[in-house]
Amino acid sequence: MTLPPSVSLIEEPAGYPILVIHHAAATGRIALNGAHVMEWTPAGEKPVLFMSAQAVFEPGKPIRGGIPVCWPWFGGHPTESDKPAHGFVRNLMWNVGEVTENIAGVTLEFLLSDSDDSRAFWPHRFDLRLEVKLGAQLSIALHIKNTDEAAWSMTGALHTYLCVDDVTEAAVIGLDDAFYVESRLSPERIEQSGPVYFDREVDRNYESKDTVRLLDRKGRRTIVVEKSGSRATIVWNPWIEKSKRLSDLPDDAYPHFVCIEAANAVPDVIAMTPGKEHVLSQRLRVQRD
């Protein structure tokens, strides 16, 4: 592995490899476990990605915070409840591909293909390539290819945790008139009216391809979330009671993040014929008031 000067490889904790980026345009950290973007801080800014103070950094375990890659299913497995939630690729070690830098930032490539480990969860052949561009903006693109001789289908998401100073003063703008289902909370299909506010648990699957903005009033900034290859936008905050049930999230952490996820989620299942490719991507940028 050849790394440019702004990127270094550490093991923290021991046996847990993380790429650390110190570039003039931004700093960040990416774990090879799950190809998980843990941190991104543009120059002159506060951290943009939320990371739980109780996140588990252990091979084979998902990380609470940052950007988990959920694939090849989003949420619980559609037929087998004993399979890991949000798929298995966030629990596997990825290989590092090409890593380059220029004046604008750093581009990193992570690779994962089917193996004995993946076939323990899913019988199909595939190639994944995650491209991360980290600078004044953060772009993340999951390139998916069916390398099998048979067709298969998938869902998935880039499960992005975004920092806010106080979720009760935050709002998500850009989903007005979009229909949503309140996930496990209610099967009713509801039309959004105005911004999304937070005064209780929110776990919504919106039918939307549009750009949204997370208005962090107390933090005096707006995080712009653009996406492609996605027919759904997930908006999530666990609020008080759900936070108490999550062992890797402090009970008092819920006011400090909102998840906005580029997703393909049920019923928007993507059919993948042999040789077909699909790209799920998201781009983040910060606007100051």
Q: Which residues are catalytic?
A: 159, 261
Residues 85, 281: contact at Cβ < 8 Å? no
**Which residues, 6 or more positions from 82, have their beta carbon under 8 angstroms from its beta carbon?**
none
**If phi over 0 gives left and psi between -120 and 50 gives alpha, with beta otherwise, what is residue 251?**
alpha
Residues 48, 22: contact at Cβ < 8 Å? no
Distances (CA, A) of 211 to 114, 214, 246: 33, 10, 29
Alpha-carbon distance of 210 to 162, in angstroms, equals: 18
Residues 288, 136: contact at Cβ < 8 Å? no
Helix (H) or strand (E) holding 239: helix 239-245
**Which residues, 6 or more positions from 53, have their beta carbon under 8 angstroms from its beta carbon?**
250, 253
